[in-house]
């Protein structure tokens, strides 16, 4: 394949939550100021992934296309999309090397996200599923349904990690078992275990919420192991630090983020494997290089900690960077970036969640509906939002998608 060598005005690396929002806002604003500048968006996939819903796709609560939107249909001329892998960024020469060739830029936005962290635990990578990518979620769904269709009477499913993702995955699977599996597979038994290294699930949340979540999961027959650290994973069992062996047919790994900035940038330009940026989201040494989302290390000036690795933060950072680039093109200044979370919503299966918004806490269907509504805002395009809202409504009152595609080519 012939390698490209070209130049673009604004280069966005990664079209996930942060990168796509930077593109959307930039394209709109460039049009408004009648600027001829061209944006090039690069991603290794030709679709935008909405990661926070992948565990729902894995359990058939939503269809996969609700979490994956083709990028070529939303990145429109004169701007362009390139499906290729980013390999290296040289902020001194202002070039990015990809497996398709080299691209020179005036402004670059790094939005390459993060990956699963297996903490070098033996067997974890080989013998667990994850819900961090669409293909990961689809692999989990395919193998789980295929196991349901096999003659085995019991499936032991173990979820590692009792923070947000682990609790959400446990909530979805326990609801799946209680509704569809008990009705459609009455002779099957699914035993769900949730392993948490801390003494509580969701340790960062208030005691009242932690208690509510743990009680709700236990009532749905999720067996919770607290103060338990996984030391080894095999195809038959997980071994805990205290030597206990937990029999398990399928494991889902939900714990930890692996930060990846040092895979692309020289080590001297990274901090904690992330991209250290100023309160204007520009790299501390290179003002034309921005970073947003999980890969960015942004200090919260209120408490000197870092802004969280959340879709909500990535979305707002993407928007801010777009505004900052437009201001820079127009030789204007804008105020510094500040992130304030709208709230925390923890889904616990379909039609159930806990939402903490300002001083208010909501439980059950209202909280679940609030979450779905908030998520709709992340999706590109009004028509698509309406279609997805109708699909969700119809889907949430019928059975999940339980399709066994094991024998397909």
Ligand X SMILES: Cc1cc2nc3c(=O)[nH]c(=O)nc-3n(C[C@H](O)[C@H](O)[C@H](O)COP(=O)(O)OP(=O)(O)OC[C@H]3O[C@@H](n4cnc5c(N)ncnc54)[C@H](O)[C@@H]3O)c2cc1C
Positions touching ligand X (CB under 6 A) are 14-19, 42-45, 49, 51-52, 54-55, 85-86, 111-113, 131-132, 165, 293-295, 309-312, 314
Tell the smallest beta-carbon distance from residue 62 to ligand X (Å).
13
User: Closest CB to ligand X among 165 and 251?
Assistant: 165
Q: Closest separation between CB of residue 221 and ligand X, Å?
A: 22
What is the Cα–Cα distance from 66 to 278, expressed in whole angstroms? 34
Least Cβ distance, residue 45 to ligand X (angstroms): 5
Q: Could you tell me the smallest distance in angstroms from the CB atom of residue 404 to ligand X?
A: 23
Q: Which is nearer to ligand X, 10 or 15 (CB)?
A: 15
Q: What is the distance between the alpha carbons of residues 160 and 166, in angstroms, rounded to a whole number?
A: 7
Q: Which of 180, 312 has the CB closer to ligand X?
A: 312
* DSSP at 235: S
Least separation in angstroms between CB 407 and ligand X: 28
| CB-closest chain residue to ligand X | 16
* Rounded-to-integer distance, Cα 125 and Cα 109, Å: 30
Listed in sequence order, the residues at least 6 apart from 276 whose beta carbon sits closer than 8 Å to its beta carbon are 270, 283, 284, 297
CB nearer to ligand X: pick between 239 and 352? 352
Handedness of CA 185, 191, 195, 199 (dihedral sign): positive
Whole-angstrom Cα distance, residue 62 to residue 68?
11
Kindly provide the residue ranges of all beta strands, DSSP E only, lying in 65-211, ordered along the sequence.
68-70, 80-83, 86-90, 95-98, 101-110, 115-116, 154-160, 189-195
Interatomic CA distance for residues 296 and 309, integer angstroms: 9
Report the nearest approach of ligand X to the CB of residue 187 (Å).
Answer: 31
Q: How far is the CB of 52 from ligand X (least distance, A)?
A: 3
Nearest to 353 by CA among 168, 200, 131: 168
Q: Do the beta carbons of residue 182 and residue 174 sit within 8 Å?
A: no
Nearer to ligand X, 9 or 312 (CB): 312
Considering beta carbons, is residue 109 or 240 the nearer one to ligand X?
109
- Minimum CB separation of residue 166 from ligand X in Å reads 9
> How many C-beta atoms lie closer than 10 Å to residue 251's C-beta?
25
d(CA 204, CA 196): 13
Quick one: which H or E segment has residue 285?
A: none
Parallel, antiparallel or unpaired: strands 68-70 and 39-43: unpaired
Please say which residue, 279 or 309, places its beta carbon nearer to ligand X.
Answer: 309
DSSP line for 8-64: EEEEEE--SHHHHHHHHHHHHHHHHTT----EEEEESSSEEE-GGGHHHHHTTSS-G
74 phi and psi angles, rounded to 5 deg: -120, -10
Q: How far is the CB of 57 from ligand X (least distance, A)?
A: 10
The residue among 240 and 324 lying less far from ligand X, judged by its C-beta, is 324
In the complex, least distance from residue 309 CB atom to ligand X, rounded to whole angstroms: 5
- Helix, strand, coil percentages (3-state) for the chain, rounded to 5, are 35, 25, 40
């Amino acid at each position: 394949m012939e390698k490209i060598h070209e130049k673009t005005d604004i280069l966005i690396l990664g079209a996930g939550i942060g990168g796509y929002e930077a593109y959307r806002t930039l394209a709109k604003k460039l049009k408004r100021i009648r600027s001829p500048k061209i944006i090039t968006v690069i991603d290794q996939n030709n679709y935008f992934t909405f990661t926070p819903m992948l565990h729902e796709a894995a359990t058939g609560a939503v269809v996969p296309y609700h979490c994956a939107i083709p990028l070529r249909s939303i990145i429109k001329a004169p701007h362009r999309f390139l499906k290729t892998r980013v390999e290296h960024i040289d902020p001194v020469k202002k070039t990015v090397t990809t497996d398709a060739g080299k691209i020179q830029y005036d402004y670059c936005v790094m939005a390459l996200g993060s990956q699963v962290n297996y903490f070098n635990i033996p067997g974890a990578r080989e013998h667990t599923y994850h819900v961090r990518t669409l293909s990961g979620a689809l692999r989990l769904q395919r193998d789980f349904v295929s196991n349901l269709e096999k003659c085995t009477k019991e499936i032991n499913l173990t979820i590692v990690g009792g923070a947000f993702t682990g609790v959400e995955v446990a909530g979805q699977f326990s609801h799946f078992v209680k509704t569809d599996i008990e009705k459609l597979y009455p002779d099957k038994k699914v035993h769900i275990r949730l392993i948490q290294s801390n003494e509580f699930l969701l340790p960062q949340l208030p005691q009242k919420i932690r208690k509510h979540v743990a009680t709700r999961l236990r009532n749905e027959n999720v067996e919770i192991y607290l103060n338990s650290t996984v030391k080894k994973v095999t195809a038959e069992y997980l071994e805990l630090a205290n030597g206990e062996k937990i029999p398990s047919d399928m494991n889902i790994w939900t714990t930890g983020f692996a930060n990846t900035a040092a895979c692309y940038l020289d080590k001297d330009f990274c901090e904690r494997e992330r991209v250290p940026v100023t309160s204007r989201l520009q790299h501390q040494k290179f003002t034309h290089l921005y970073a947003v989302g999980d890969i960015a290390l942004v200090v919260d000036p209120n408490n000197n900690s870092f802004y969280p690795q959340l879709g909500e933060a990535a979305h707002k950072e993407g928007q801010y960077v777009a505004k900052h680039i437009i201001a820079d093109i127009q030789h204007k200044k804008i105020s510094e970036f500040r992130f304030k979370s709208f709230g925390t919503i923890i889904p616990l299966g379909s039609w159930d969640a806990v939402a903490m918004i300002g001083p208010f806490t909501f439980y059950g269907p209202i909280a679940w509906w609030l979450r779905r509504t908030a998520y709709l805002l992340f999706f590109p395009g009004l028509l698509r939002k309406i279609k997805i809202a109708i699909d969700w409504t119809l889907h949430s009152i019928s059975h999940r998608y339980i399709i066994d595609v094991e024998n397909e080519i």
